[in-house]
Amino acid sequence: MSDRLLVLVRHGQSEWNLKNLFTGWKDPDLTERGCAEAKEAGSRLRAQGLTFDVAFTSALTRAQHTLDIMLKEMGQSGLPIRKHQALNERDYGDLSGLNKDDARKKWGEEQVHIWRRSYDVPPPGGESLKDTLARTLPYFVQEILPCVLRGERTLVVAHGNSLRALIMVLEKLTPEGILARELGTGVPVIYRLNADATVASVLDLAS
């Protein structure tokens, strides 16, 4: 009986999270707090007695740095890592780099809220959550899921919206349900899958 373990972790706090900026595909690094969150995530997984066979992350520094800190904390720094932009954060287009309060002043509270919280309305030049799903899911199905189903214990460190895409499929959530789902920075979510890729159990390690 193979383990079929899949752990998802959103990167630790980034410099632009701290400054309340839309980040998307921009590439700031972690803050001190973000590094501490990554270390804590590794510590929590180690406390669960978990080790991994393979890890996936995005093409962005904040996710890669989080993964590196976690693996060091778990004593698994030599783990094979696959990096791909399919796991990147949602592209916020013209909003990228803007302060969220300044964006509200420019376009109005209601419009910015629609861009941030609707399922299929993209910001100018950017992606909706639906677009992010269309980019992320094929990579998950073709590259990540086969590893899990083969019994390779798999760690994915990525971003709030790219991980929501995976969670939407795993937990069979509606567009409304996934929009309401909050993902804390540096908080591991542990899935064990059945042979047919349905979820046997899920454990959120939020403190």
Instruction: Classify strands 188-193 and 154-158 as parallel, antiparallel or unpaired.
Output: unpaired
Q: Rounded CA gap, 161 and 182, in Å?
A: 10
- pLDDT tens digits for 148-187? 999 999 999 999 999 998 999 999 999 889 888 888 999 9
Cα angle value 3/158/16 (rounded, 5°): 155
Catalogue the active-site residues: 11, 89
Asked whether residue 40 is assigned to any structural domain, the reply reads no
Whether 123 maps to a domain, the answer reads yes
Position 98 in a domain: yes
Domain assignment of residue 124, yes or no = yes
The two counts, helices (H) then strands (E), for the chain are 9, 6
Is residue 207 pLDDT above 80, yes or no? Answer: no
Q: Is 34 inside any structural domain? A: no
Read off the CATH number of the domain in which 165 is found.
3.40.50.1240
131 within some domain: yes
Phi, psi of 163 (to 5 degrees): -70, -35
Q: CA dihedral defined by 169, 188, 69, 52, rounded to 10 degrees? A: -70
Domain containing 117: what range? 82-135+143-185
Give the three-state DSSP class for 3.
coil
Per-residue pLDDT band at 2 (split at 50, 70, 90): low
Total domain count, the chain: 1
pLDDT at 112 over 90: yes
- Determine the Cα–Cα distance for residues 62 and 140; give it in Å rounded to an integer: 20
> pLDDT (tens digit, 9 = 90+) per residue, 32-83?
999 999 999 999 999 999 999 999 999 999 999 999 999 999 999 999 999 9
